[in-house]
């Protein structure tokens, strides 16, 4: 009994600070149409899909109205910035995962993504691991990364959920799906929380700098090609390793290219197999569709054997993982 399904990652190239939302939306719909041509049933879009990656700009919160332009308020289905995409996805019968800045009714701000199945939100996630800083750098040569300023850490935790009728199998087409956003993928805890819920498919969008002094400690004039290669390597490493060690498929969709012509973001959108190898990967830094047909049942192999958690995990030895957030080093020698 196979559960076959064709998956897609919608990589989105450069989106500038002044790129009109209507233009971005048209590009997202173009990728959706391409996905439909390839038989894709689930298409994952990047983090903050609808705009450029605004946490790099200091001062947005000096004026709340200015800040709010970067966020979506209220129901996505009645939001003109999103509705045409949701409608077309429903029409085509394609599930989508969409990342966006979320402003709640009671005034909280999150870095969020939603899983939309035929227009209905069946899963929602708010980014837990916010990188970067609260305060802008004093040094004008440093690129800011103000996620800790513009967002609160997600309050939903890592909740896997079931998606009906994703795979082709008539009597067992549903899938256990989880979501995370960008930096979360570097944190084994995020993956394990989903793994402990039997996740078969992890969906992730990201904006990852090719060089970012605030994140990597490199000056602006460092060797960009080398930093880009290292960022790409590390991205693939965490996607492959954590997919393997949790016996899950994963889809990673990048915002890639040079925003505003100067802020570089890696590509490397990919679809990964539960044994840890890459099934498909983007080859450009532009808008690009990445597609792979998979059999969800292959996620069960690792779950029964090497990563049979119930047989092998020794939770009494892991206590410090949930007891302390920071480091406690062994005492210095005399």
Q: What are the catalytic residues?
A: 47, 127, 182
Cα–Cα distance for residue pair 73/51, rounded to 1 Å = 14
Q: How far apart are the first and last CA of the chain?
A: 63
From the CB of 238, what's the least distance to a copy of itself, in Å? 6
Nearer to a copy of itself, 93 or 164 (CB): 164
Q: How many Cα atoms within 13 Å fall on the side-chain side of residue 310?
A: 4
From the CB of 292, what's the least distance to a copy of itself, in Å? 18
Nearer to a copy of itself, 39 or 153 (CB): 153
Cα–Cα distance for residue pair 128/187, rounded to 1 Å = 10
Nearer to a copy of itself, 107 or 319 (CB): 319
Do strands 249-255 and 270-272 pair parallel, antiparallel, or not at all (unpaired)? Answer: antiparallel
Nearer to a copy of itself, 161 or 258 (CB): 161
DSSP assignment of 170-231, as one string? SSS--EEEEEEEGGGGG-HHHHHHHHTTT-SEEEEEEE-BSS-HHHH---TTS-HHHHHHHH
From the CB of 281, what's the least distance to a copy of itself, in Å? 15
Alpha helices (H) along 41-196: 64-68, 83-92, 147-150, 188-195
From the CB of 23, what's the least distance to a copy of itself, in Å? 33
Nearer to a copy of itself, 19 or 230 (CB): 230
From the CB of 6, what's the least distance to a copy of itself, in Å? 21
Contact of 202 with 178, CB cutoff 8 Å: yes
């Amino acid at each position: 009994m196979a559960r076959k399904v064709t998956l897609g990652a919608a990589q989105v190239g450069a989106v500038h600070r002044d790129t009109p939302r209507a233009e971005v939306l048209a590009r997202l719909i173009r990728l959706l149409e391409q996905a439909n041509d390839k038989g894709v049933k689930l298409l994952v879009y990047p983090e903050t899909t609808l705009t450029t990656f605004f946490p790099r700009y200091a001062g947005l919160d000096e004026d709340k109205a200015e800040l709010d332009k970067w966020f979506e308020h209220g129901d996505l289905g009645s939001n003109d910035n999103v509705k045409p995409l949701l409608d077309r996805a429903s029409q085509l019968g394609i599930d989508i995962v969409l990342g966006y800045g979320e402003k709640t009714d009671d005034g909280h701000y999150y870095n969020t993504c939603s899983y939309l199945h035929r227009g209905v939100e069946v899963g929602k996630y708010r980014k837990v691991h916010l990188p970067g800083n609260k305060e802008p750098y004093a040094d004008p040569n440093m690129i800011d990364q103000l996620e800790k300023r513009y967002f609160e850490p997600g309050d939903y935790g890592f909740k896997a959920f079931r998606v009906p009728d994703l795979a082709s199998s008539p009597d067992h087409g549903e899938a256990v799906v989880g979501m995370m956003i960008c930096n979360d993928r570097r944190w084994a805890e995020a993956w394990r929380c989903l793994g402990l819920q039997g996740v078969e498919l992890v969906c992730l969008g990201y904006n990852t700098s090719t060089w970012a002094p605030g994140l990597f400690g490199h000056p602006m004039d460092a060797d960009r090609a080398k930093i880009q290669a290292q960022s790409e390597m590390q991205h693939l490493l965490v996607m492959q390793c954590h997919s393997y060690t949790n016996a899950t498929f994963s889809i990673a969709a990048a915002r890639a290219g040079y925003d505003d012509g100067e802020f570089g973001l890696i590509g490397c959108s990919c679809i990964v197999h539960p044994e840890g190898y890459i099934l498909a990967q983007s080859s450009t830094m532009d808008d690009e569709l990445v597609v792979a047909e998979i059999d969800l049942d292959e996620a069960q192999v690792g779950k029964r054997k090497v990563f049979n958690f119930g047989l092998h995990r020794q939770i009494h030895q892991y206590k410090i993982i949930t007891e302390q957030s920071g480091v406690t080093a062994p005492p210095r020698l005399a």
